[in-house]
Amino acid sequence: MNKERLIPLIVATALFMENMDSTVIATSLPAIAADIGTSPLTLKLAITSYLLSLAVFIPASGWTADRFGPRIVFAGAVGVFMLGSIGCALSSSVTNFVFARILQGLGGAMMTPVGRLVLLRSVDKSALVNAMAWVTVPALIGPVIGPPLGGFITTYFSWHWIFLINIPIGLLGIFMALKYIDPIKSVDPERFDLYGLVLAGIGLAGIAFGLSVAGLNLLPWTIVAALVGIGVVSITLYVLHARRTGSPVLDFSLLRLSTMRAAIIGGFMFRVGIGALPFLLPLLMQVGFGLTPFQSGLVTFASAVGAMGMKTLAASIIRAFGFRNMMTVNAVVSSAFLAACALFTISTPLLLIFIILVVGGFFRSLQFTAINTVAYAEVEAPQMSRATTLVSVNQQLAVSAGVAIGAFSVETVLALHRQTELTADAFAPAFVVVSLISAASAWFFWQMPTDAGHEISGRKAIEISSRKGAERGAAAAAVKHATEDTQNARDQRLG
């Protein structure tokens, strides 16, 4: 297997493990809570502590990869994630479980951005679209198969196994990384910005944690607002600090690049809408329609089927239409399929729901692949570690914001209707709200230059080939025209 296929699969192994783990646990929380003697609501701290750990440590991933080499850091991050998984399986109290999840978050914070950095430094830009497609699919499949897999393991085996299944996957990922990833190191690693890391960590933790618990009724709204407010103030102070340092942990100067700016701002809005889907859809299926967690998981698995179908076509579609045109139109199309979920009722045939989710999954996966690829189109090699860190932080905040907006929309509908119990009708407005936010991202993608990412997509080669063909045609026409003029002149002389 060539490097363009092998490296993405190694990186995808870690991303699959991380994404699946974070959704499997949601299904198994009641069983875990009963076993260790606490309530499922209290155990929600396990999810929020993981997100908190991600937010704090992601900014340090770029410098760590430059200092010690992305191969070693990536393999080490997988190992730390495995240790956290073992800790979760062995936990007998809430405290032990939360600390194990924080350790998992430390590993996950390094796996995702450093994994992308490994990919960017190992694969030629011309092959990046196909490589990102291979990475994107497992990352999308993980959250989809997580709920049915978690329900199946918890029901027929034991909740401990939802964490222990990470061990063979992680061992395979470490072995493949050390064997096949080149040991690339930065020649002159930058000075570590500890003050910036503290400001960024507090800011991101406050915003991510605040958004994550919003709508879950874990904390009063005043505390949630205070957390988000502290996060915003800290991020503002960080931005002021970053302007004065030459090696910021989050390099916002990259937003001067048109493709990076579109991927960050437009990508955030798109992910806010799409990130709410894994939260809203299972609730609609289980609470609104009365399906079991296992049945609900089987229905939502349709999105993974669509994502798999995209894998082989993404590069051809982007090459044919270009990043700007494709991403602008596809943002609207994907959002339309998201809005279609608002039309689901208890009488809607499951086959129709399945078809809509399959087709919608295809277009969503295509958009994710394009966003994740075009972000690096103009980034120079020395800036790659900073770019992957910035993109990873943006994704994490977008998912947290998507869940918060989805939950807030549902809570608002209940309040307006003066209802205390969830019904299927409460979800329709939430799907409409998040789909409109997602569709609005199209404007930012349209702001990219017409030739954005052509070197990556291969469209530049097509245009050059077309231009040469047109030039050859024009030259041939000129020769033909000159020949005809000569012939006419000769005929006139003979006449």
Lowest mean pLDDT segment, chosen from 137-141, 270-274, 483-487: 483-487
Of residues 467 and 151, which shows the higher confidence score?
A: 151
pLDDT tens digit sequence for 433-456: 999 999 999 999 999 998 887 877
Using the predicted structure, report yes or no on whether residue 269 has a pLDDT greater than 50.
yes
CB burial class (10 A; 0-12, 13-18, 19+) of residue 417? exposed
Predicted pLDDT of residue 142 = 66
Of residues 463 and 206, which shows the higher confidence score?
A: 206
Give me the phi and psi of 473, to 5 degrees please: -65, -40
Of residues 414 and 77, which shows the higher confidence score?
A: 77
Degrees to nearest 5, angle at CA 274 with 197 and 401:
40
The pLDDT of 132-156, averaged and rounded, is 70
Q: Name the most confidently modeled range: 264-268, 274-278, 288-292, 384-388.
A: 264-268
Write out the DSSP string of 140-196. HHHHHHHHHHHHHHHHHS-TTHHHHTHHHHHHHHHHHHHHHS-----SSPPPP-HHH
**Percentage of the chain surpassing pLDDT 90?**
15
Using the predicted structure, report yes or no on whether residue 262 has a pLDDT greater than 90.
yes
The pLDDT of 58-82, averaged and rounded, is 86
Using the predicted structure, report yes or no on whether residue 488 has a pLDDT greater than 80.
no
CB contact at 8 A, 80 and 114: no
Predicted pLDDT of residue 332 = 95
The pLDDT of 463-470, averaged and rounded, is 48
Lowest mean pLDDT segment, chosen from 50-59, 213-222, 318-327: 213-222
Instruction: Write the CA distances from 205 to 33, 54, 230, 242, integer angstroms.
Output: 25, 8, 9, 18
Write out the DSSP string of 467-480. HHHHHHHHHHHHHH
| Residues in Cβ contact with 334 at an 8 Å cutoff, skipping those fewer than 6 apart | 270, 274, 360, 363, 364, 366, 367, 438
Band of residue 493 on the pLDDT scale cut at 50, 70, 90:
very low
Cα(452)–Cα(154) distance, integer angstroms: 47
The residue among 65, 82, 81, 76 whose CA lies nearest residue 177 is 76
The structure tokens listed for 273 are 């809408």
State the chain's mean pLDDT as an integer.
79
CB burial class (10 A; 0-12, 13-18, 19+) of residue 233? middle
Cα(424)–Cα(345) distance, integer angstroms: 7
Predicted pLDDT of residue 291 = 76
Of residues 210 and 218, which shows the higher confidence score?
A: 210
Residue matched to tokens 């009641």:
30
Cα(342)–Cα(411) distance, integer angstroms: 16
Q: Quick one: which H or E segment has residue 100?
A: helix 94-122
Using the predicted structure, report yes or no on whether residue 329 has a pLDDT greater than 90.
yes
Q: Name the most confidently modeled range: 109-113, 143-147, 150-154, 246-250.
A: 109-113
Q: Output the furthest CA–CA distance in the chain (Å, rounded).
A: 111
Using the predicted structure, report yes or no on whether residue 233 has a pLDDT greater than 90.
yes
Lowest mean pLDDT segment, chosen from 6-10, 218-222, 383-387, 430-434: 218-222
Lowest mean pLDDT segment, chosen from 187-201, 255-269, 351-365: 187-201
Predicted pLDDT of residue 334 = 93
